[in-house]
Chain A
Amino acid sequence: MQENPIRLDSSDEEGTPSPRRAPPTQAVDLSSNPEAGVVCETSGIARKLAVTANDLVRLEPGSFLNDTIIDFYLRHVQDRLSSATLSRCYFYSTFFYSKLREKRGGEIPVGTRLKPGATAAECQALRNYHKVQKWTKDVDVFEKDFLFIPVHHALHWSLMIVCHPGCSYLSNAATGPTPCILHLDSMQHGHKSAEAAHRIRSYLEAEYSNRVGRVVKQDNFCDCGLFLCAYAEYFARYLPPYIHAREAYEVAYEYKKTNRDLFEGTPACYPGRLTEHWFRPENAGALRLHIQKLILQLIVEQNDLCLGLGSPHPLWKAVDPRACSAHAALEQIAELEQVEKYMGPEEWLEHAGIQKLLRQEKLDAGTSEAFPGTQEQRRPLPTASERQDVEGRGKGAGSQKAVPASALGRPPVKLPRIETASFFTPKAPASRPARSSSTVSDSSEEAGPSSGGRWRGGSAVTSPVQPSPEIMPIGGLSHPPLNPGVKVYARKQRSSADTAQLFPGRGVRVGTAEDAARPSGFAAQVMVDCTEFLRNP
């Protein structure tokens, strides 16, 4: 639909305002003009973001966050990163995933060879790719270590972190970076990881997906956007040197038994990272106030309303009524923050360490099942009295959690949550080795011998549920039997010919002879040299 160009030049000098437009000076008047443009800036012209009073309303208790607030906080997180850390990360905008998800629109450039018999979905995926192709023209995402992708769909927010997209896939390595996708979803049945990962993967043509299923979860219906922000901040502020897919998986699923962290014993260790003990759920709730405060402070700064926060000039309120609303709101927030204040990753670090120690004490005192490797030193199962003791404390922690966060002062150290059910599942120890070996044997041929031993004992506690046929175990991984209710998805194997036809000339490397020599689990993997993808589009 082509129309005649509309000329705007004639009225340029006069600057006749349209009725909808509001001069920027009215920006702070929060009540009367909700559409006023309140501009809160971070550095760099291209990264400027306008936050309006309409967006501020989204931070009221119980309301859903919108894309502007998420973008704002992600930029705030980026601003606080050191340049070295920032250079390892890339944050996509909140629209990115929605673009990849679109069901229509877009075009495929002339001359693109399509795979014969490509489905409509595959063609649309290619169109969607060309919609966002230029978004990353100034950055080579395959030189980055971590790509942060906010996912929005069906009124819910979650975060995907693509780790090491430029690394080649060498799953035999017991440690070191492997390409994988972490999906951090704060809701139990939130987004479908497999679908989301598939879209990201067909964008990246990366090879590998992993779901970390047990991160901190939200305990209400409205905080998912805040959890996204908190995940991103906690992950980025203490950026891990690398993510190894199997290690991350193991830590997340075995944490309450082993209490072992990623990079345990090194300076890179952050207690509870990528597990349900990463931060407290109430903390993400308190992020609401924190973002409100940040935005209000920017409003005050950028509109020259600042006469000293906390002790405003006595005359000043009378002079500028606009400032009243901003400062009154700030004072109110300061009051509320005395009850529950957001703790960033730096402030939380010490508490996290203490909690970890407490959990360790519990583990040492309660059961030795957590350390399957030391079977000789295994103590007898806890007596009934011991069990009651620990369960009682566990219940105490649970009931404490049930009290709304706003009614509680911040407890200095919260009791660790004990999930008694999994600790004391009444299973005969004698049957354990046989069962674990049978469940692991299916996939143990794919894994190196070094990885097998650590898994078996820990896996015995969980019930031996086999994945249903359409859910494949993660390729090349020997993982413990799945807990009921936890699904692990892996990529459906796609042949290299398909990839080459769908994305012609994108540096697709078919598996080499060395790959073929590996056990059968690996030979089917398509090797895609991601570093050349997108660099020579």
Chain B
Amino acid sequence: MSDTGEDSKANIKPEGASDPNVLSIKVKDQLGGEVVFKVKKSTKFEKILNAFCQKKAVAISEVRFVFDGTRINPSMTPEDMEMEDGDTVRR
């Protein structure tokens, strides 16, 4: 038996923005709630995820964030993940 310690997952959805260096990123949780962040491509995910967790009042160690099936590492940036304008991810 085992336990993942995982409460909710969220998908991240980059969307088109006017400035090529600015992305709006949607963070969805499992219940369908979503928060949109406008960030630079070089912003670390740590910042986004921390803000999301604070807003949702959950501990960051208890949630996992996934983009296209890849776990998001807090020290990475949207650029590293090759998120692009107009790229959409379905849940």
Contact = CB atoms under 8 A, between A and B. Distances in A.
B30 A105 contact: yes
Interface stretch (A6-14, A160-168, A357-365, A405-413): A6-14
Contact of B90 (A6, A71, A130): A130
Q: Which 4 A-B pairs have the closest CB atoms?
A: A135-B69, A64-B2, A5-B36, A64-B3
B64 A67 contact: yes
A6 B35 contact: yes
B74 A37 contact: yes
A73 to B, nearest CB: 13
B84 interface: no
Contacts of B69: 92-93, 95-96, 132, 134-136
Interface string B37-53: 11110010011101101
B62 to A, nearest CB: 9
A281 B4 CA distance: 22
Contacts of B43: 8-9, 12
Nearest to B53: A20
Given A6-B51, A21-B50, A187-B1, 16 more contacts: A2-B34, A3-B34, A3-B35, A5-B38, A6-B37, A9-B43, A37-B75, A45-B80, A48-B73, A64-B1, A93-B71, A96-B69, A98-B4, A102-B30, A105-B91, A130-B91
Nearest to B50: A18
Nearest to B48: A8
A136 to B, nearest CB: 7
Interface string A63-82: 01111000100000000000
A496 interface: no
B18 interface: no
A54 interface: yes
A469 B58 CA distance: 48
A106 B36 contact: no
Nearest to B19: A9
Contacts of A517: none
B46 A21 contact: yes
Interface in A96-130: 96, 98, 102, 105-107, 109, 130
Contacts of A459: none
Interface of A: 1-9, 12, 18, 20-21, 24, 34-35, 37, 39, 45-50, 52, 54, 58, 64-67, 71, 92-96, 98, 102, 105-107, 109, 130-137, 152, 154-157, 187, 221-222, 224-225
Interface in B5-24: 5-6, 9, 22, 24
Nearest to B60: A20
A484 to B, nearest CB: 25
Contacts of A21: 46, 50
Contacts of B68: 134-135, 137
Contacts of B53: 20
A64 B3 CA distance: 6
Contacts of B30: 102, 105
Given A1-B34, A18-B50, A156-B2, A52 B73 contact: no
B85 to A, nearest CB: 15
A135 B71 CA distance: 11
Contact of B39 (A8, A64, A130, A133): A8
A9 B34 CA distance: 19
A222 B40 CA distance: 44
Nearest to B3: A64
19 contacts: A5-B24, A6-B37, A12-B40, A12-B43, A35-B60, A37-B74, A37-B75, A46-B82, A48-B75, A49-B73, A52-B61, A54-B61, A67-B6, A94-B4, A130-B91, A131-B90, A134-B89, A137-B68, A155-B3
Nearest to A71: B71
Contacts of B70: 46-47, 93, 135
A452 B80 CA distance: 56
Contacts of B34: 1-3
Contacts of B74: 37, 50
A279 B18 CA distance: 58
B57 to A, nearest CB: 12
Contact of A9 (B6, B33, B39, B71): B39
Contacts of B2: 64-66, 152, 155-157, 222, 224-225
Contacts of B54: 18, 20
A7 B9 CA distance: 22
A1 B29 CA distance: 11
A35 B38 contact: no
A20 B57 CA distance: 12
A236 B40 CA distance: 40
B32 to A, nearest CB: 7
Given A1-B33, A225-B2, A24 B75 contact: yes
B19 to A, nearest CB: 10
A134 B66 CA distance: 12
